Structure 1
Amino acid sequence: MLVLLPPSEGKATSGEGPALDLGTLTLPELAPAREEVLGALTELCSGPEETAMDVLGLTPGQADALKRNLDAADAPTLRAADLYTGVLYDRLGLPDLLESVPDRVRERVLVFSGLWGVVGAADRLPPYRLSMGVRLPPLGGLGAYWRRVLAEPMGDLAGDRLLVDCRSSAYAAAFKPRGRAAERLVSVRVLRERTVDGRVRRSVVSHMAKATRGDIARSLLLEGVEAATPEELAQALRDLGHTVELPEGRPGSARVLDVVETG
């Protein structure tokens, strides 16, 4: 089983480890693509600041991200587990899990990235800022770029394992298994259930869904769940106290696992 995660917009701003070594990252065969994206990002951030800020979707208060991008090749690094912050990662607690169940985290957690494609939790990275939704000159949309690059190596890495997809839509675009392989991907959707005027209503939640996905991923890793099918995953999460539903899927399509939150 693999747990697929998005990165976070919020990131640590400094590291203390050795400089970036692309050969040590998960899927080292991606090094040429990573160099190409980093080169394009460096060129963008070396040009007019206003243009770079606009392309990267940064606000005036985030201008320091340009310097971090320019320094990325030589800056001190830190583990991806320590680099990514925010709601999902606060609830997931990757640094703690790397201490308590290191093998599970190293073998099962993959973080998708606009700059690196996909990395492992223990991979050492410099601070940076580049979202998957960016259209980076001259490469174009990064979701489409990485989808071409990642299709074969990610397909080989995934094999016949179940994929628990906690990514947002922008990052999910970077790897979409096809055909029968798609049936092994389960997207985690979070629904809020409330009673309004005596009627039960459900709605898809966005921001706080990150917290729930972090909780789900932590439960799976901490308890060592070994689900091989969407049905086994749903039952394992019920056994762990989560309220989940698994709607029927279509042949050749990814499944959706609904996690129902009340209140």
Structure 2
Amino acid sequence: MLVLLPPSEGKAGSGEGPRLDPGSLTLPELAPAREQVLAALTELCAGPEDVAMDVLGLTANQADALKRNLDAATAPTLRAAELYTGVLYERLGLPGLLDSPAAGRVRERVLVFSGLWGVVGPADRLPPYRLSMGVRLPPLGGLGAHWRRALAGPLGGLAEGRLLVDCRSAAYAAAFRPTGAAAGRTVAVRVLREREVGGTVERSVVSHMAKATRGDIARALLVEGVDADTPEELVAALRDLGHTAELAPAARAGAPRVMDVVVRD
């Protein structure tokens, strides 16, 4: 089983480890694609500040992100587990898991998607940076398409025969779209909020709460050592752990499945 995660916009501001070693990152065969993105990002951030801010979608109070990007090749690093600090990661608690009996499972089963690095493991050492997958980075163009080309072979091989639990947002899902048999082993996690309105039970898709719930789901799978082989086994395991999980019918044979996790007021 592989758990596919987005990064977080919130990131730690500094590290204390050695400078970046590209060859040490998960899927080292991605090094050429990573170097392309880092070189393009460095060139952008070294140019006119207003242009870089606009391309990267940054606000005036985020200008310090440009310097972090410029320093990425030489800055002190920290584990990806500590770098990403958003809501999903607060609930997931990766640093503690990497220092627990579940550490082996975490290293083997968790992949974090990144606009700069493509995909990384939780123990990979990274510098602070700011680059969303939704950016169109000159001269590479859309990063989703750039990484889709680069990731298809290496990540497709890593995912072979494994259930994919997809907790990514749409922008990061664009970087790797399982096909063929892998698509049939992919479960996208959707979070629904259920509440009673005027005597009627209604469900709606949520956003902020979804990040927290996906963090809870990923943590439960890792702590409990769940290693499901099929979408049906995944749903059954989560129900046994106290979650309300429902598997939607496949849109067509071999298509990814959607698993609804229901949270109630």
Q: What range is the shorter-chain TM-score in?
A: over 0.9
Matches within 5 A, 1:197-212: 197-212=198-213
Match of 2:144 in 1: 143
Distance in 1 of aligned mates of 2:236 and 2:175: 28
Letter of the 2:94 counterpart: L
Q: Which amino acid aligns with 1:49?
A: E
Within the alignment, does 1:60 sit opposite 2:60 as a pair? yes
Q: Report the more deviating stretch, 174-183 or 78-87.
A: 174-183
In the alignment, does 2:260 pair up with 1:252? no
Unaligned runs of 5+ in 2: none
More off after superposition, 171-180 vs 61-70: 171-180
Asked if the contact 1:9/1:86 (under 8 Å) is kept, the reply is yes
- Determine the C-alpha separation between the residues in 2 that align with 1:197 and 1:191: 19
Corresponding residue of 2:8: 8
Question: Counterpart of 1:26?
Answer: 26
Instruction: Tell me the equivalent position of 2:132.
Output: 131
Matching residue's letter, 1:54: D
The yes-or-no answer on 1:232 pairing with 2:233 is yes
**Corresponding residue of 1:183:** 184
Q: CA deviation at 1:90?
A: 0.2
Query: Which residue type is aligned with residue 260 of structure 1?
Result: V
In 2, the alpha carbon distance for the partners of 1:60 and 1:3 equals 35
User: TM-score if structure 2 supplies the norm length?
Assistant: 0.99
Match in the other structure for 1:173:
174
- SS of equivalent residue, structure 2 residue 113: strand
Amino acid across the alignment from 1:252:
G
How far 1:226 moved relative to its partner? 1.1
The residue type equivalent to 1:12 in the other structure is A
Q: Percent identity of the aligned residues?
A: 79
Kindly provide the amino acid, as one letter, of the partner of residue 177 in structure 1.
P
TM-score with structure 1 setting the length: 0.99
Residue identity opposite 1:120 in structure 2: G
The answer for the alignment partner of 1:99 in structure 2 is: 99
SS at match of 2:208: coil
Query: 1:143·1:171 contact (CA, 8 Å) conserved in 2?
Result: yes
1:18 partner letter: P
Q: Distance in 2 between matches of 1:56 and 1:44?
A: 9
Unaligned runs of 5+ in 1: none
Contact 1:162 1:185 in 2 (8 A): yes
Quote the residue 1:43 is aligned against.
Answer: 43
- Separation of aligned partners in 1, 2:28 and 2:93: 26
Per-residue CA deviation, residues 193-251 of structure 1 (Å, 9 max, x unaligned), is: 11111111110001110000000000000000010000000000000000010011121
CA displacement at 1:86 relative to structure 2: 1.0
Cα offset for 1:159?
1.0
Distance in 1 separating the partners of 2:29 and 2:166 = 23
For the Cα contact (< 8 Å) 1:182–1:254, is it kept in 2?
Answer: yes
User: Residue in 2 aligned with 1:193?
Assistant: 194
Mapped partners of 1:66, 1:189: distance in 2: 34
User: 1 CA distance for matches of 2:124 and 2:193?
Assistant: 35
3-state SS, counterpart of residue 147 of structure 1: helix
Contact 1:78 1:126 in 2 (8 A): yes
* CA drift at 1:252: 2.1
User: How big is the alpha-carbon RMSD for the aligned residues of Structure 1 and Structure 2?
Assistant: 0.5
* SS, match of residue 4 in structure 1: strand
Deviations 1:96-148 (A, max 9, x none): 10011110010000000000000000000000000000000000000011001
Q: Which residue of 1 aligns with 2:218?
A: 217
In structure 2, C-alpha distance between the alignment counterparts of 1:41 and 1:15, rounded to whole Å: 20
- The question of whether the paired residues in 2 share the 8 Å contact of 1:180 and 1:251 is answered with no
